[in-house]
Amino acid sequence: MTVRLPIAVRYAETDAMGVVHHSSYVVWLEAARVEWLEQIGLPYTQIEVQGLAFAVIELGLTYRNPARFGDRVEVETWLSEASSRTLRYQYRVWRSETLLAEGFTRHLCQDARGKAVRIPPNISDALVAHLRPSS
C-alpha cells in the first residue's frame, strides 16, 4: 500500500537560497510514515502503548529538484521490507509530476529500554499485509 501525504511548504522550512532545507525532508518523511501507519489502521500511538518504538537506524535521501516556499508537495510512502526486528520504508517527494527527492529509512523495533526486540505478531501481521516491495 502506498500513501501520499500533501504538504504545503512553509517559509521556515527554506534556507537562505530560498529552497527547502535538506533537513526539512526528514520531518516530512516522518509525517508521511506516521500517516501510512494511520491509513493501515495501526496508529503509532497504538505501538507506543505496547512499550515499543521503531527507532530510525538508517536514512538515505537523494535530492533531485528543489522545493520552495509556497509549493504544494506530496510525500509518497510505502513499506518495502519487513524482518523480525526491522522495517524499511521508501519515499518519493513530488511537486505535481516533478520528482523532488527519493529515499528510505530503516527502523529497529525497540522496547522501552531501547533494547532490540522482535516485532510482535499483532503488529507484524498488520505491517506485512500492506508490504509493497521496491519497484
pTM: 0.95
135 falls within a domain: no
- What's the grid cell of residue 32? 508521511
> Given 15, 71, 111, 125, which residue is catalytic?
15
Domain of residue 64: give its range.
Answer: 2-128
134 falls within a domain: no
Q: CATH no. for residue 44?
A: 3.10.129.10
* Residue 15 annotated as catalytic: yes
- The SS3 assignment for 84 reads coil
Q: Taking Cα atoms as reference points, which of 113, 121, 69, 67 lies closest to residue 94?
A: 67
Instruction: Say yes or no to pLDDT of 135 above 70.
Output: no
Label each residue of 70-131 as H, E or C: CCEEEEEEEEEEECCCEEEEEEEEEECCEEEEEEEEEEEEEECCCCECCCCHHHHHHHHCCC
pLDDT digits (tens, 9 = 90+) for 94-129: 999 999 999 999 999 999 999 999 999 999 999 999
The residue count for the chain: 135
Cβ neighbours, 10 Å, residue 75: 24
What pLDDT score does 34 carry? 98
pLDDT digits (tens, 9 = 90+) for 28-81: 999 999 999 999 999 999 999 999 999 999 999 999 999 999 999 999 999 999
What pLDDT score does 38 carry? 98
What pLDDT score does 133 carry? 80
Please tell me the total count of domains within the chain. Answer: 1
